[in-house]
Chain A
Amino acid sequence: MPAAMGFFTDTTICIGCKACEVACKNWNQLPATHGGVGEMSGDSYDNTRKLDGTHWRHVKFIEQFDGPYNGRWLMMSDVCKHCVQAGCLEVCPTGAIIRTEYDTVVIQSDVCNGCRACIAACPFGVIDMNAAAGTAQKCTLCYDRMEVGLEPACSKACPTDSIQFGPITELRERATKRVAQLQAQGEKRARLYGDDPKGPLGGLNSFYLLVDKPEVYGLPKTPKLPSRNLKPSGTFAAATGAVVGLLAIVGLRKRRMDEIGEGGGGKGSQN
């Protein structure tokens, strides 16, 4: 069994070049939006805007400015988190979403029927439909490349090593050292997101080094599994069914009593 593999993304050294986005599109033969005539976002240099079925990598450009000169850019190459406990895999009704031998999460496009349950289940908004395929799609962590010993296209193309690929245990050690280094240099806000196997979703096999709160990067503070609602929601629905059913039966009983009271009686139940 191979070791669990994943990404460690150090956002402090991302320069927003988008080489990862291009490499991902190129390797996975993902189509351009609107035939290559993309729309400008109008509020940012980021025109990709979000992850979806044809953008499996997305470099976020987060502006933190007070006036034209005082501020900073936060840049973060976002991707599927390959959660150890994956919401998408949990709800997928066709079995199209699987966990691979590398502990990554992959959608098998030839099995998916495009019901889109996984899109609503993902706590990070990673998955969306690929209109050309008619199926839900996302990063595969380049499963096909890993099978032949190659590293994923995005991390291979990253010129600053902001995206690092490798066995998760090694990446966690490297990430912890990097946080300590940044803290020692005075960047006290440096923190890891998704590195803790005892944390939310059992840890993320694509985890991040951030220098602000997760929400600032568009990441949920405490990502959760969709199944957390199954038991309470099912119980309340069943209880309501019992109450409504009882009301109907009591109504029938009352009708029968009224009939007897009126002296009708009748011949009892039908059949």
Chain B
Amino acid sequence: MPDTFFTASPHWTWFIIPYFFVGGIAGGAYFLAALLQWFGRPEDRPVIRTGYSLAFWGAIISGALLTLDLGKPFRFWHMLFQSENFPNLMFKSWSPISFGAWAILLFGACAAVSWYGKGGALLAKLVAGLGGLLGFFVAGYTGVLLSVTNRPIWADSPWLGALFLASGASTGAAALALFASGSGASERSIRWLTSFDSQALVVELILLIVFVASLGAVAKVWLGFWGLVLLVGVVGAGILWPLRLHFKPAAASAGFHNPALMVLLGGFLLRTVVLLASNSIAAHHVASGGMP
């Protein structure tokens, strides 16, 4: 039996799954908005504004979800300051939760500045540059966080950070395409987002295959309900189906035929599957030890 099967579940469930999803969207959307601010055109302005708005509200929702998930929510600040030596900072560069807490705080600050949108053009670009990098960090560190444990699936592969980052990029682009369409975004901006989303989905699919392959013998855990959700929900409905809709725009419409909605559904299911499949593997209960 793999060593990771002797460990206990941290019960990260219905606050953490939406956080991983929202954090990925916020990070991906900010990164793309920042790119457009640096290299885009005036007509991209509605997409940029939508990106900063998604990032700002995403950061707020993320902070709220993370705080609510704590056993002691009012001690959330213990992540940032040494509670017994206030105001000395609490920071461990080798602990993903520690540097993630700081990254979300700084990301939220950048998102707030960009969303507020005042100040000089150079300052705005610098903040967007920093926030964009932090955005990708926020989207990807959650996967690294899971790998830096001893739990089944999560610690059995070093590819979760990469996979979550690609998913953050694809869901960020999908959310931008979905919300910016109603904010006066030009057809050209949306086309760029859709084209990028297709590429991000292909990267995500490749990384998902690499992730499952890297699990080795542990990959057997997918021979069950969560494997079915991964195959049908994440790969089928969340990656292949929207890719088809992207390449045959005539087939795209509302609901299941809206590629952006399906990408978002796939991104949510990916995080749900990765967290709950591992959580469902309880610490190995020893009752019968075979024959001596």
Q: Which residues of A contact B (CB under 8 A)?
A: 41, 43-44, 46, 49-50, 52, 60-66, 71-72, 74, 87, 90-96, 110-117, 119-129, 133-136, 189, 211-212, 215-224, 226-227, 229-230, 232-234, 236-241, 243-245, 247-249, 251-252, 255, 266-271
8 smallest CB-CB distances across A and B, nearest first, come from A114-B71, A237-B161, A113-B75, A220-B3, A125-B8, A120-B149, A232-B158, A93-B98
Question: Do A234 and B161 touch across chains, with their CB atoms under 8 A apart?
Answer: yes
Question: Do A90 and B94 touch across chains, with their CB atoms under 8 A apart?
Answer: yes
Question: Do B97 and A127 touch across chains, with their CB atoms under 8 A apart?
Answer: no
Q: Could you say which residues of chain B place their CB within 8 Å of the CB of A232?
A: 158
Which of B44, B144, B191 meets A270, CB within 8 Å? B44
Q: A115 and B165 in contact (CB under 8 A), knowing A120-B150, A222-B3, A252-B192?
A: no
Question: Do A245 and B147 touch across chains, with their CB atoms under 8 A apart?
Answer: no
Q: Could you say which residues of chain A place their CB within 8 Å of the CB of B191?
A: 255
Closest CB-CB distance, A55 to chain B, in whole Å? 12
Q: Would you list 5 pairs from A and B whose C-beta atoms are within 8 A, ordered by A residue?
A: A43-B288, A116-B10, A120-B10, A241-B137, A267-B42
Q: A74 and B289 in contact (CB under 8 A), knowing A94-B79, A111-B78, A251-B199?
A: yes
Question: Do B136 and A241 touch across chains, with their CB atoms under 8 A apart?
Answer: yes
Q: Which residue of B lies closest to A237 (CB)?
A: B161
Q: A270 and B45 in contact (CB under 8 A), knowing A113-B79, A117-B97?
A: yes
- Asked whether B57 is an interface residue with its Cβ less than 8 Å from the other chain, the reply is no
Q: Which residue of A lies closest to B79 (CB)?
A: A93
Question: Do A94 and B83 touch across chains, with their CB atoms under 8 A apart?
Answer: yes
Additional A-B contacts beyond A229-B155, A237-B161, A247-B199 (19; CB < 8 A): A43-B287, A62-B286, A74-B289, A92-B95, A95-B82, A111-B78, A115-B79, A119-B10, A126-B8, A135-B71, A136-B71, A224-B150, A232-B158, A233-B144, A249-B39, A255-B191, A266-B41, A270-B37, A270-B40
Question: Do A244 and B166 touch across chains, with their CB atoms under 8 A apart?
Answer: yes
Q: Could you say which residues of chain A place their CB within 8 Å of the CB of B69?
A: 115
Contact with A along B123-148 (1 / 0, CB 8 A): 01100000000001100110110011
Question: Do B125 and A111 touch across chains, with their CB atoms under 8 A apart?
Answer: no
Complex Cα–Cα for A238 and B148 (A): 16
Which of A91, A212, A238, A267 meets B95, CB within 8 Å? A91
Q: Could you say which residues of chain A place their CB within 8 Å of the CB of B196?
A: 247-248, 251
Q: Could you say which residues of chain A place their CB within 8 Å of the CB of B250?
A: none
Question: Do A251 and B195 touch across chains, with their CB atoms under 8 A apart?
Answer: yes
- Asked whether B219 is an interface residue with its Cβ less than 8 Å from the other chain, the reply is no
Q: Could you say which residues of chain A place their CB within 8 Å of the CB of B36?
A: 252, 270
- Asked whether B169 is an interface residue with its Cβ less than 8 Å from the other chain, the reply is yes
Closest CB-CB distance, A119 to chain B, in whole Å? 4
Q: Could you say which residues of chain B place their CB within 8 Å of the CB of A217?
A: 286, 289
Q: Could you say which residues of chain B place their CB within 8 Å of the CB of A114?
A: 70-72, 75
Which of A72, A125, A230 meets B292, CB within 8 Å? A72
Q: Which residue of B lies closest to A268 (CB)?
A: B41
Question: Do B7 and A120 touch across chains, with their CB atoms under 8 A apart?
Answer: yes
Question: Do B150 and A240 touch across chains, with their CB atoms under 8 A apart?
Answer: no
Q: Could you say which residues of chain A place their CB within 8 Å of the CB of B101?
A: 93
Q: Could you say which residues of chain A place their CB within 8 Å of the CB of B288?
A: 43, 62-65
Q: A121 and B75 in contact (CB under 8 A), knowing A46-B287, A220-B6, A224-B3?
A: no
Complex Cα–Cα for A252 and B31 (A): 14
Which of A44, A91, A113, A251 meets B96, CB within 8 Å? A91
Which of A49, A127, A220 meets B285, CB within 8 Å? A49
Q: Could you say which residues of chain A place their CB within 8 Å of the CB of B72?
A: 112-114, 134-135
Question: Do A248 and B287 touch across chains, with their CB atoms under 8 A apart?
Answer: no
Q: Could you say which residues of chain A place their CB within 8 Å of the CB of B247?
A: none
Closest CB-CB distance, A105 to chain B, in whole Å? 15
Question: Do B79 and A64 touch across chains, with their CB atoms under 8 A apart?
Answer: no
Question: Do A219 and B90 touch across chains, with their CB atoms under 8 A apart?
Answer: no
Which of B9, B37, B71 meets A120, CB within 8 Å? B9
Complex Cα–Cα for A94 and B285 (A): 30
Most buried by B among A44, A120, A123: A120
Complex Cα–Cα for A96 and B286 (A): 30
Complex Cα–Cα for A229 and B144 (A): 8
Q: Could you say which residues of chain A place their CB within 8 Å of the CB of B78?
A: 94-96, 111-113
Complex Cα–Cα for A135 and B200 (A): 39
Q: Which residue of A lies closest to B99 (CB)?
A: A93
Q: Could you say which residues of chain B place their CB within 8 Å of the CB of A218?
A: 6, 283-286
Complex Cα–Cα for A61 and B155 (A): 29
Q: Could you say which residues of chain B place their CB within 8 Å of the CB of A268?
A: 41
- Asked whether B38 is an interface residue with its Cβ less than 8 Å from the other chain, the reply is yes
Q: Could you say which residues of chain B place their CB within 8 Å of the CB of A74?
A: 289
Q: Which residue of A lies closest to B169 (CB)?
A: A244
- Asked whether B52 is an interface residue with its Cβ less than 8 Å from the other chain, the reply is no
Q: Could you say which residues of chain B place their CB within 8 Å of the CB of A90?
A: 94-95
Q: Which residue of B lies closest to A60 (CB)?
A: B286
